């Protein structure tokens, strides 16, 4: 993280010609004119905070279970995309519940709401690109980079270490999911992000490979970018009740298929 901070200051100063106080001001109050720099600094932060330490750990101490970039069955390379898309109604429902349990006007709201608003403002700036190059940069900054960096760190290193140390795959998955959600420092999305992290963790456990979680994470983030541009600049897309019900049925069915495949492997072994 310290290395990321140093590199961010160097990029802000050398590439965008801003002084340290100006860089701090941009980070505190992001604006559209500084969106390219903010995307660059976000990428630096992701790489230095999650990717580099994980690769370093793997090179120094890792074994076969750390960073399991193994070949996965086609089921786990295709189904996770549809699985993640069909989970959208459930994630939206949990997000609404998460928001409802934070009392209005409470000390908790006073702490969490400014961070939530700042994160939301930054996300909207990233999404505001209106040309092909800008939109591709948005997919890179919001979908691809976080998917690779966060999955390598959490499902690639932390989850296998916890699962083996505790001798319980489920405990490793859920503790990693909680840590994954907590590190985003967004209390209003804490519960749905825990569910998302657990789902990604189970994809790794079911398949024995990191690829399905990486693909699903990318699909989840890329879906948000796609919805924003396809829905006239709105992140929420309203589905009729029957559409939400159908999505949940698909989600449950796909979960059953992948869980059954893992259960069959455990039984055979």
Q: Read off the pLDDT of residues 65-75 as tens digits, 9 standing for 90 and up.
A: 788 888 888 88
Average pLDDT over residues 106-127: 88
Name the token pair of 76: 């786990």
pLDDT for res 245: 93
pLDDT for res 66: 87
Average pLDDT over residues 27-55: 92
Name the token pair of 156: 């690639």
Three-class SS state of 16: coil
Q: Confidence class of residue 252 from pLDDT cuts 50, 70 and 90?
A: very high
Question: Per-domain residue ranges for the chain?
Answer: 1-62, 66-268
Residue pair 103/187 in contact (Cβ under 8 Å)? The answer is: no
C-alpha–C-alpha distance, residues 16 and 3, integer Å: 19
Average pLDDT over residues 141-154: 96
C-alpha–C-alpha distance, residues 189 and 217, integer Å: 16
Name the token pair of 28: 């505190």
pLDDT for res 129: 81
Residue pair 121/23 in contact (Cβ under 8 Å)? The answer is: no
With a cut of 60, say whether residue 269 has pLDDT above it: no
B/e letters for 66-103, b = 16+ CB within 10 Å, e = fewer, are bbbeeebeeebbebbbbbbebbbbbbbebbeebeeebe
C-alpha–C-alpha distance, residues 169 and 166, integer Å: 8
With a cut of 70, say whether residue 29 has pLDDT above it: yes
B/e letters for 16-35, b = 16+ CB within 10 Å, e = fewer, are bebeeeebeebbeebeeebb
Tell how far CA 255 is from the center of its chain.
20
With a cut of 70, say whether residue 220 has pLDDT above it: yes
C-alpha–C-alpha distance, residues 71 and 139, integer Å: 25
With a cut of 70, say whether residue 267 has pLDDT above it: no
Residue pair 163/173 in contact (Cβ under 8 Å)? The answer is: yes
With a cut of 60, say whether residue 110 has pLDDT above it: yes
C-alpha–C-alpha distance, residues 38 and 126, integer Å: 8
Could you give the dihedral angle defined by the CA atoms of residues 45, 50, 52 and 56, in that order, rounded to the nearest 10 degrees?
160
Range in 23-32, 149-158, 196-205, 229-238 the model is least confident about: 229-238
Q: Which residue has the tokens 């390219």?
A: 36
Rounded mean pLDDT of the chain? 90
With a cut of 60, say whether residue 55 has pLDDT above it: yes
C-alpha–C-alpha distance, residues 249 and 140, integer Å: 31
Residue pair 138/221 in contact (Cβ under 8 Å)? The answer is: no
pLDDT for res 268: 61
């Amino acid at each position: 993280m310290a290395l990321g901070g140093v590199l961010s200051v160097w990029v802000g100063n050398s590439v965008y010609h801003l002084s340290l106080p100006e860089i701090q001001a941009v980070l505190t109050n992001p604006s559209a004119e500084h969106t390219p720099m903010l995307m660059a600094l976000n990428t630096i932060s992701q790489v230095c905070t999650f990717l580099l330490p994980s690769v370093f750990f793997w090179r120094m101490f890792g074994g076969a279970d750390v960073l399991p970039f193994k070949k996965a069955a086609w089921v786990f390379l295709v189904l996770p995309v549809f699985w993640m898309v069909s989970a959208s109604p459930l994630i939206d429902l949990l997000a609404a519940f998460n928001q409802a349990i934070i009392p209005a006007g409470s000390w908790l709201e006073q702490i969490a709401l400014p961070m939530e608003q700042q994160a939301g403002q930054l996300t909207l700036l990233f999404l505001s690109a209106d040309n092909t190059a800008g939109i591709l940069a948005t997919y890179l900054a919001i979908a691809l980079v976080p998917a690779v960096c966060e999955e390598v760190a959490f499902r690639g290193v932390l989850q296998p270490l916890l699962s083996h140390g505790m001798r319980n795959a489920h405990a490793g998955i859920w503790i990693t999911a909680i840590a994954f959600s907590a590190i985003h420092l967004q209390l209003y999305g804490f519960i749905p992000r825990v569910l998302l992290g657990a789902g990604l963790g189970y994809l790794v456990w079911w398949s024995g490979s990191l690829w399905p979680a990486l693909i699903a994470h990318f699909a989840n983030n890329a879906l948000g970018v796609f919805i924003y541009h396809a829905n006239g600049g709105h992140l929420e897309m309203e589905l009729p009740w029957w559409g939400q019900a159908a999505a949940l049925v698909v989600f449950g069915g796909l979960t059953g298929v992948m869980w059954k495949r893992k259960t069959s492997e455990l039984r055979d072994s």
